[in-house]
C-alpha cells in the first residue's frame, strides 16, 4: 500500500525523525555536531540578543541544527559566523580563523551621527572585503552602504523580526486589565515609549540623543497642553525621560518587563506609540506596536519607511519635526472612524517581518548560498 503525505505532513515527519535521532544521541552519549552557523549576540538581554535568538529558532524550525547562538566568538573556529552587530564584527573579526565565512548585520550608523561613529564607519568600510555578506534591516541602510562603495551583491536586506503570535491585538478585557494595572483613567490617552534612550545600563540620566528622547519630551509637552496624556515607559536607562516627564507634570509609569510575554501585555494599554529617533535599525518596538494594533507615529528612520504607508498603516514624519509629530498624533487620536482600518493595515504590513519569514530569508539568501560555495 502506498501512503501519500502532504508537504506539511512531510515536514512534521522530518522534524519528528530528527527529534528521535537527537534523543538516541543523548541516550547513547553521542555528541551532536555543532551547527554550521554561529550567531554572535551581546550578553545584554536586549535587541541584539533577541534578534539572534529568534532568527536561530526560526531557521532551526525549517532546517534543524543549522544555527546556534553564542556570546563567545572565540569558540567559533569554522563555518559561518554571523555577528548581530557591526561593532562586534569590528572587535572580533580580525581575531577569528580565516577558515570561517563572515557575515555581520549593519543596523544603523552614519558619519553625521558624530566623530566616533564616523571613525567606526571608515573602519567598517575598510573591513568590508573580509566580509562575505552584510545584512541590512532597512532599505535606507542598504542604500547608505552602497553609497559608501560596498558592492550591492554583498548586501542582503532582511528586516528585524517580530513575534506576531505573541504581539497580538488585545481583547477589550485585556486592554482594561492592562490599563487598570497602572491606575490609568478611562479618559486618559496612553502614549508608549519602550526604547532604551539613555547612555549606559544604569539610570540613563544622560540622554542618548540619537534615539530622540528630547524630541519625545517636546512632543509630549505639546500634546499634554490640550489632552489628558499618560506615558507608559518600558526598557532600561529611561532616567532622562522620567525626569523630563516629572518636570512637565505628565503622569507616567515605567515597567521594565521581565520577559517577552509581559512586554506584549504592556502594548495592550497603549492608544498610540511615538518613535522619535534620529537614527534607527528597527526599532523592534515599531513592529511590536503594529503587530499589537497600536497606531505608530514614527520619524523616517530605520525600518519605519519600509513598513508604514503614511496615512494608511501609521504616520511618518521628518526627523526632529516636533510639530508634525504632534499634528499626526492628534489626527490619529481624533480619527476614530479610520482607526480600526489603520490598525489592521499595520498588522498586515508587519507580517512581512514575522520571525518565520526572517529565518527563511536568512537560510535562502545568506547561509545556504555560502554553504554551497564551501567553507
Q: How confident is the model at residue 1 (pLDDT cuts 50, 70, 90)?
A: very low
**Average pLDDT over every residue of 197-209:** 87
Q: Is the pLDDT of residue 271 over 90?
A: yes
Instruction: Report which of 355, 181, 160, 165 is spatially closest to residue 268, judged by C-alpha positions.
Output: 181
The answer to whether 296 touches 305, Cβ cutoff 8 Å, is: no
Q: How far apart are CA 107 and CA 124, in angstroms?
A: 13
Q: What is the pLDDT of residues 225-237, one digit of tens each?
A: 999 999 999 988 8
Q: How confident is the model at residue 163 (pLDDT cuts 50, 70, 90)?
A: very high
C-alpha separations of 231 from 114, 216, 228, 295 in Å:
30, 11, 10, 15
Q: What is the pLDDT of residues 294-353, one digit of tens each?
A: 999 999 999 999 999 999 999 999 999 999 999 999 999 988 657 889 999 999 999 999
Position 375 scores a pLDDT of 66
Tell how strand 189-193 and strand 229-233 pair up. parallel
Q: Is the pLDDT of residue 20 over 80?
A: no
The answer to whether 359 touches 327, Cβ cutoff 8 Å, is: no
Q: What CATH number is given for 22-161+355-373 in this structure?
A: 3.40.50.2000
Q: Which one has a higher pLDDT value, 99 or 291? A: 291
- Sketch the domain layout of the chain as residue ranges: 22-161+355-373, 172-352
Q: How confident is the model at residue 196 (pLDDT cuts 50, 70, 90)?
A: confident
Cβ partners under 8 Å of residue 183, min gap 6: 253
Position 280 scores a pLDDT of 94
C-alpha separations of 225 from 229, 242, 243, 314 in Å:
9, 18, 18, 23
Cell numbers describing residue 36: 554550521
The answer to whether 81 touches 102, Cβ cutoff 8 Å, is: yes
Least confident of 33-37, 45-49, 91-95, 248-252: 45-49
pTM of the model as a whole: 0.87
Two domains, one topology: 22-161+355-373 and 172-352: yes
Tell how strand 37-40 and strand 67-70 pair up. parallel
Q: How confident is the model at residue 17 (pLDDT cuts 50, 70, 90)?
A: very low
List 88's β-bridge partners, or say none: none
Q: Give one DSSP letter per residue of 107-152, joined into a string.
A: -S--GGG-HHHHHHHHHHHHHGGG-SEEEESSHHHHHHHHHTT--G
Give the best-scoring range by mean pLDDT among 26-35, 91-100, 294-303.
294-303
CATH T-level topology, domain 172-352? Rossmann fold (3.40.50)
Position 198 scores a pLDDT of 85
Q: Is the pLDDT of residue 27 over 70?
A: no
Position 34 scores a pLDDT of 86
**Average pLDDT over every residue of 107-122:** 92
Q: Is the pLDDT of residue 9 over 60?
A: no
Q: Is the pLDDT of residue 222 over 50?
A: yes
Q: How confident is the model at residue 26 (pLDDT cuts 50, 70, 90)?
A: very low
Cβ partners under 8 Å of residue 194, min gap 6: 233, 234, 235, 263, 266, 273, 285, 288
Position 140 scores a pLDDT of 95
Q: Is the pLDDT of residue 193 over 80?
A: yes
Least confident of 181-185, 200-204, 349-353, 369-373: 200-204
Position 7 scores a pLDDT of 46
Amino acid at each position: 500500500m502506498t501512503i501519500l503525505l502532504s508537504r506539511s505532513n512531510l515536514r512534521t515527519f522530518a522534524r519528528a525523525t530528527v527529534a528521535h535521532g537527537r534523543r538516541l544521541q543523548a541516550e547513547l552519549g553521542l555528541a551532536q555536531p555543532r551547527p554550521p552557523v554561529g550567531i554572535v549576540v551581546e550578553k545584554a538581554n536586549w535587541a541584539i540578543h533577541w534578534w539572534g535568538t529568534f532568527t536561530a529558532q526560526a531557521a532551526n524550525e525549517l532546517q534543524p541544527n543549522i544555527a546556534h547562538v553564542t556570546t563567545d566568538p572565540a569558540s567559533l573556529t569554522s563555518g559561518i559566523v554571523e555577528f548581530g552587530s557591526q561593532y562586534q564584527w569590528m572587535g572580533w573579526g580580525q581575531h577569528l580563523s580565516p577558515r570561517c565565512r563572515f557575515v555581520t548585520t549593519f543596523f544603523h550608523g552614519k558619519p553625521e551621527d558624530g566623530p566616533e561613529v564616523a571613525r567606526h564607519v571608515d573602519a567598517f568600510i575598510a573591513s568590508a572585503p573580509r566580509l562575505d555578506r552584510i545584512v541590512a534591516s532597512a532599505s535606507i541602510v542598504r542604500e547608505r552602504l552602497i553609497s559608501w562603495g560596498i558592492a550591492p551583491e554583498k548586501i542582503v536586506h532582511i528586516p528585524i523580526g517580530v513575534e506576531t503570535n505573541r504581539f497580538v491585538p488585545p481583547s477589550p478585557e485585556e486592554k482594561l486589565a492592562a490599563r487598570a494595572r497602572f491606575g490609568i483613567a478611562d479618559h486618559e490617552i496612553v502614549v508608549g515609549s519602550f526604547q532604551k534612550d539613555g547612555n549606559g545600563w544604569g539610570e540613563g540620566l544622560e540622554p542618548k540623543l540619537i534615539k530622540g528622547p528630547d524630541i519625545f519630551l517636546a512632543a509630549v509637552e505639546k500634546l499634554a497642553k490640550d489632552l489628558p496624556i499618560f506615558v507608559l515607559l518600558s526598557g532600561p536607562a529611561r532616567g532622562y525621560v522620567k525626569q523630563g516627564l516629572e518636570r512637565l507634570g505628565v503622569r507616567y509609569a515605567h515597567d521594565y518587563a521581565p520577559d517577552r510575554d509581559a512586554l506584549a501585555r504592556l502594548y495592550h494599554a497603549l492608544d498610540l506609540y511615538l518613535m522619535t529617533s534620529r537614527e534607527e535599525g528597527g526599532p523592534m518596538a515599531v513592529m511590536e506596536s503594529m503587530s499589537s494594533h497600536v497606531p505608530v507615529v514614527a520619524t523616517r528612520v530605520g525600518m519605519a519607511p519600509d513598513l508604514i504607508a503614511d496615512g494608511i498603516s501609521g504616520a511618518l514624519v521628518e526627523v526632529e519635526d516636533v510639530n508634525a509629530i504632534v499634528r499626526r498624533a492628534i489626527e490619529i487620536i481624533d480619527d476614530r472612524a479610520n482607526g480600526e482600518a489603520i490598525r489592521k493595515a499595520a498588522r498586515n504590513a508587519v507580517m512581512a517581518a514575522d520571525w518565520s519569514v526572517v529565518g527563511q530569508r536568512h537560510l535562502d539568501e545568506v547561509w545556504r548560498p555560502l554553504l554551497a560555495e564551501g567553507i
